[in-house]
């Protein structure tokens, strides 16, 4: 439902002078902060009420509040991870950061900067968190003109003064979360990211940079290209980066592969690449150790063939089918990598282990849809669309993305 206030915002008078435009930008920024404060209060109150309901239902204590973050994410049209982050901030603002919440209600502190403070004090106890909130946000004149970096620095400084031991514990926790991730980039490229302890990250980069300084005359690669290739060679043990043995699934039409059609190919979990690049990869695979699994679809329908199973657990071929069809978690606005293969209509309620009743999910969404009051049902088998109903009666639809 569009409110009168929303209509007013959409129908702003555009025939004004520039000074008025700047004034409105400033006023709307203040309004954004105030709206975020109101959202936080509603989210925290929802969480409190649902936890009370779950306690009255006799659920285990560790299940209190399950599903709240998922509902908030759907309402905000964002991923469950972002929804959980919003809920966490809301709880902290209402219970432990009253000054920050007040400054948001004043319109002078954004949700983003409140989140910076919240993340910088997670390792402190409740008393110290409140002390940092008072030190930084009791008076808005203190942070006037601060950048995001200044907020991070001042938060860290205030926290370190209160509990040095907590800072050391947080460092050990951070080191335990070191990892390597991959995310797609344009033009058949990808970002390989390593989260490492600072001294290790510096050492890795310094080693690559030092090696690149010894590039001989006639080397066609730039120092940056040389460093990238050297990283691949040293990690994988191959002598040349382009000879890396790979296993890649390419979903493409036969016309794209054999008739120079320009319809893009897709790498499940990463996205599309131009047909010309896909053909190049296939050609190169015949000359190197690379193995390209070609998966064809009909160019007229774009459909894969469905499969069924009598087992509760999705067998490997059917699970692979769900991975290819859904590509990412099917919960609306999520898009996280698929970790589980889930029944839309729960198996205990008669749901079949089939392509129609199956969906790819991330771990978070698969568990949170089991919260009391959530239900789902298929509504369009041809395009594989299903409906999610939340405990408050709101409904959201999910339709499988085009294969390519």
Cα gap 246→285, rounded to integer Å: 9
Say how far residue 72 (Cα) sits from the centre of its chain: 15
Q: What span, in angstroms and rounded, lies between the C-alpha atoms of 95 and 98?
A: 7
The distance between the two most distant Cα atoms of the chain, rounded to a whole number of Å, is 76
Helix (H, G, I), strand (E, B) or coil at 247: strand
Q: Is residue 313 within 8 Å of residue 353, measured between CB atoms? A: yes
Taking the CA of residue 259 as centre, how many other CA atoms within 13 Å lie in the half-sphere pointing to its CB? 7
Give me the pLDDT at residue 54, please.
95
Q: What are phi and psi of 138, to 5 degrees?
A: -65, -30
Cα–Cα distance for residue pair 214/208, rounded to 1 Å = 11
pLDDT per residue, tens digit, the chain (404 aa), is: 667 777 777 788 889 899 999 999 999 999 999 999 999 999 999 999 999 999 999 999 999 999 999 999 999 999 999 999 999 999 999 999 999 999 999 999 999 999 999 999 988 888 999 999 999 999 999 999 999 999 999 998 898 888 767 667 767 777 888 999 888 887 778 889 999 988 899 999 999 988 888 777 778 888 899 899 889 888 887 777 666 665 566 676 666 666 677 777 777 767 777 778 777 777 766 555 555 555 555 444 444 444 444 556 788 888 888 888 888 899 999 988 899 999 999 888 888 888 889 999 999 999 888 899 999 999 887 788 999 999 999 999 999 887 66
Predicted pLDDT of residue 149: 92
The values of phi and psi at residue 97, to 5°, are -125, 60
| pLDDT at residue number 49 | 97
The residue ranges of every structural domain in the chain are 4-176, 188-242, 245-297, 308-399
DSSP E strands in 218-365: the ranges are 247-253, 265-267, 271-273, 291-297, 308-309, 340-343, 353-354, 358-361
Question: Looking at residue 245, what is its pLDDT?
Answer: 61
Cβ atoms of 299 and 252 within 8 Å: the answer is: no
Predicted local distance difference test score (pLDDT) of residue 241:
65
Write down the pLDDT at residue 40: 97
Say what the pLDDT of residue 303 is.
47
User: What pLDDT does 263 receive?
Assistant: 74
């Amino acid at each position: 439902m569009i409110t009168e206030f929303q209509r007013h915002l959409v129908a702003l008078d555009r025939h004004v002078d520039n000074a008025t435009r700047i004034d409105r930008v400033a006023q709307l920024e203040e309004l954004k902060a105030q709206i975020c404060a109101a959202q936080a209060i509603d989210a925290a109150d929802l969480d409190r009420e649902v936890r009370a309901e779950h306690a009255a239902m006799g659920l285990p204590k560790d299940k209190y509040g399950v599903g709240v973050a998922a509902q908030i994410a759907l309402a905000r049209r964002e991923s469950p991870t972002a929804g959980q982050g919003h809920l966490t901030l809301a709880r902290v603002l209402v219970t432990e950061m009253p000054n920050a919440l007040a400054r948001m209600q004043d319109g002078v502190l954004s949700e983003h900067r409140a989140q910076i403070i919240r993340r910088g004090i997670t390792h402190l106890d409740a008393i110290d968190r409140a002390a940092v909130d008072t030190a930084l946000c009791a008076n808005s004149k203190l942070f006037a003109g601060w950048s995001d970096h200044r907020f991070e620095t001042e938060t860290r400084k205030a926290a370190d003064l209160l509990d040095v031991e907590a800072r050391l514990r947080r460092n050990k926790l951070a080191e335990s979360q070191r990892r390597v991730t991959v995310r797609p980039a344009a033009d058949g490229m990808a970002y390989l990211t390593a989260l490492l302890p600072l001294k290790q990250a510096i050492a890795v980069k310094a080693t690559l940079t030092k090696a690149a300084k010894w590039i001989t005359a006639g080397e066609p690669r730039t120092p940056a290209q040389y460093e990238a290739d050297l990283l691949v060679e040293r990690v994988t043990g191959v002598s040349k980066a382009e000879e890396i043995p790979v296993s890649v699934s390419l979903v493409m039409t036969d016309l794209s592969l054999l008739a120079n059609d320009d319809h893009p190919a897709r790498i499940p979990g990463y996205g599309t690449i131009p047909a010309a690049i896909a053909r190049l990869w296939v050609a190169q695979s015949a000359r190197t150790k690379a193995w390209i699994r070609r998966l064809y679809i009909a160019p007229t329908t774009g459909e894969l063939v469905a499969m069924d199973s009598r087992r509760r657990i999705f067998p490997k071929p059917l699970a692979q089918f769900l991975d290819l069809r859904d590509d990412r978690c099917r919960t609306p606005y999520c898009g996280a990598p698929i970790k589980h293969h889930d029944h839309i209509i729960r198996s205990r309620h008669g749901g079949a282990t089939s392509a129609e009743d199956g969906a790819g999910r991330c771990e978070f969404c698969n568990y949170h849809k089991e919260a009391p009051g959530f239900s789902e049902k298929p509504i369009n088998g041809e395009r594989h669309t299903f409906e999610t109903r939340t405990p408050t009666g709101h409904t959201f639809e999910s339709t499988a993305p085009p294969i390519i």
